[in-house]
Structure 1
Amino acid sequence: MGANRNAPVIIRRKKVVAANGHHGGAWKVAYADFVTAMMAFFMLMWLLNATTEKQRQGLADYFSPTISLSPTSGGGDGNFGGDSIFSEDTLAQNGLGATNLKPAPRTPGPSGNNPTEEEERFAEIESRLARGGESMADDNILRHVVTRITDEGLIVEVFSLDGDPLFVDGSDEPTPLLEDLIDLIGEVFGYATNQVAVKGFSRAYPVVLLQNPAWSNSLNWSEKARSMLTRRLAPTRMERVSGHADRSPAVRPPMSIRNDRLEIVLLRSVEA
């Protein structure tokens, strides 16, 4: 039998798919972002370890939106003079506006703007304290110091750090670190005749303790600091000594050793 010439012709095409094709480079972009983020993280950790508490506070203040970067700001006197609802008194007109959560330091003077002689003395003592170290050892102890000028006076805060406490744990025995700090503070306070107050603060302790040592520690520490200061200053300059336990933590969490601290205050003169 011959072939059927009218039968349909069927053509079969085979599609060949190559293996291991190109899958795009999006993963490379994601990996690069990850490496960049890790590098930034480690640089941040290094900077936190390499800077002092005062330097970190200065950086935080610089980037804070409540503090003016210009020495003066706009606004005038009287109603609608440029004050915002977050300013204290007229500080916003001088470039120092702030909220109640972050009040700006005040510098009262005869005209309300010019610093008084006492303000200048405080600033000079603060500067002398910052320049107190000429060696690496002195620079190390200054890591434990922050200063600020308030309505109460010049506050010099000294605090413990991990591995560098002010007192031997569980006692009022000062460490060599505190001995050096008190000696430095007593020296610079000798440039003024103002009265001095000493406040002690303690970190929080677990509530399960039968006896909470926070109150006794803070009071014993401030009394010990007062006694050490009298080696440099006249005992009659000591105005008051107080212990505040763990009621005013400086940092979180309250159990951080950074909250073991002393505030030595060069008090403002009492005006008649």
Structure 2
Amino acid sequence: MGADSNVAPVIIRKKKRQSGGHGHHGGAWKVAYADFVTAMMAFFMLMWLLNATTEEQRKGIADYFSPTIPIARVSGGGDGALAGDTVFAERNRPRMGTGGGRQEAQTAPASDDGREAPVLDAALQSLEEALIGQGGESRVPDRLMRHVVTRVTDEGLVIELFSLPDAPLYDAQGPTATLRTLAGIVARAAGLVENGVAVEAHVRAAPVVLARSRPWEDSADRAQSLRRLLERGGMSPDRMRRVTGHADRTPAVSDPMAARNDRFEVIFLRGAPG
């Protein structure tokens, strides 16, 4: 026997792969499945949004994602100051006191019914510009601008003052300091024109469980309170044409109990001054 006879033989085992087996496919199927689940979730969220939103809100969402228009010219879609209402396409031509991109007056855009939106005369336009700061310094401080919206109607220039959840204009004690300040600003600005004035007040709806609800009386009392504040601020009583309370019949937003529905309107009427 040779010297290498004690070396163990090397055994090589070959594993035969069975025919017909599927083997290991890796994790690619998990990625495909995750994409499918994500797509289904997005689909169901889309269906829910279509069912849970109004037509105005859907227009606002569509305008937000439109790549061709930097500012939505059709609708707001939200529940803030404009409450999802249109900014340009209503029967009037509103201008926000804040956050709305102040624009110089040009040709009047058409309203929803195809008619030309009303246009202010030079005197009322100067009053609006002084209040919201178009082309210059606003008479309303920035902290109060969020309570103010101006718009143009067939009747004249409407200055709307509205409550916010964290800053009411009227409470159980009467006009708040915010409303008193705003009334003083409007009264002083009213000296720029001689037009007649109308004061209107709206209140939000009360819960049905409220034992005693007086929306008509409350809105009338609030309108009279604002009239007195305007006259105290320097507006001549002879300019007052009407003082009206509208109760809770014309809410500004879809939720009738929202704080936004507590609001006042000071209307500078068209026509002969005074």
If the length of structure 1 is used for normalisation, what is the TM-score? 0.63
- Work out the CA distance in 2 between the residues paired with 1:201 and 1:151: 20
| Residue of structure 1 equivalent to 2:81 | 53
Look up the SS of the partner of 1:230 in the other structure: helix
1:99 is aligned, of 112, 119, 131, to: 112
1:154 corresponds, among 138, 145, 157, to 157
One-letter identity of the residue aligned with 1:150: T
The answer to whether structure 1 residue 175 and structure 2 residue 164 are counterparts is no
Contact 1:195 1:239 in 2 (8 A): yes
Give the residue type in structure 1 aligned to 2:189.
V
Would the aligned equivalents of 2:202 and 2:263 in 1 still touch at CA under 8 Å?
Answer: yes
Q: 1:163 to 1:103 in 2, by over 3 A?
A: farther
**In structure 1, what is the equivalent of residue 212 of structure 2?**
211
Alignment partners' CA distance in 1, 2:253 and 2:79: 17
Match of 1:123 in 2: 125
Aligned match of 1:250:
252
1:254 CA drift (Å): 1.2
Q: 1:197 to 1:120 in 2, by over 3 A?
A: same
Residue from 23, 26, 29 that aligns with 1:18: 23
Contact 1:190 1:233 in 2 (8 A): yes
How do residues 134-153 of structure 1 correspond to structure 2 at under 5 angstroms?
Answer: 138-153=141-156
Q: Which residue of 2 aligns with 1:264?
A: 266
CA RMSD of aligned residues (A): 4.0
Alignment check: 8 A CA contact 2:200 2:245 kept: yes
Aligned to 2:239: 237
| Structure 2 Cα separation of the partners of residues 267 and 200 of structure 1 | 16
Query: What is the CA distance between 1:193 and its match in structure 2?
Result: 1.2
1:129 CA drift (Å) = 0.4
Identity between Structure 1 and Structure 2 (%): 33
Task: Give the residue type in structure 2 aligned to 1:236.
Answer: D
What secondary structure is seen at the aligned counterpart in 1 of 2:175? coil
Count of aligned positions: 208
Distance 1:200 1:13 in 2: 87
SS at match of 2:29: coil
Kindly tell me: are residues 260 and 18 of structure 1, through their superposed partners in 2, closer, same or farther at Cα, counting changes over 3 Å?
same
**Contact map agreement 1:167 1:175 (CA 8 A) in 2:** yes
Partner residue, 1:4: none
Shift in alpha-carbon separation, 1:140–1:32, aligned structure 2, 3 A: farther
* Structure 2 SS opposite 1:181: helix
Question: Is the CA contact (8 Å cut-off) linking 2:195 and 2:272 kept in structure 1?
Answer: no
Q: C-alpha separation between the residues in 2 aligned to 1:95 and 1:156?
A: 19
TM-score (norm 2): 0.63
In the TM superposition, residue 121 of structure 1 has moved relative to its aligned partner by 1.0
Structure 1 residue 96: Cα displacement: 4.0
Amino acid at match of 1:187: R
User: Structure 2: how far apart are the matches of 1:65 and 1:242?
Assistant: 23
Change (3 A) 1:252 1:52: closer
Unmatched tracts of structure 1, length 5 or more: 1-11, 68-93, 108-114
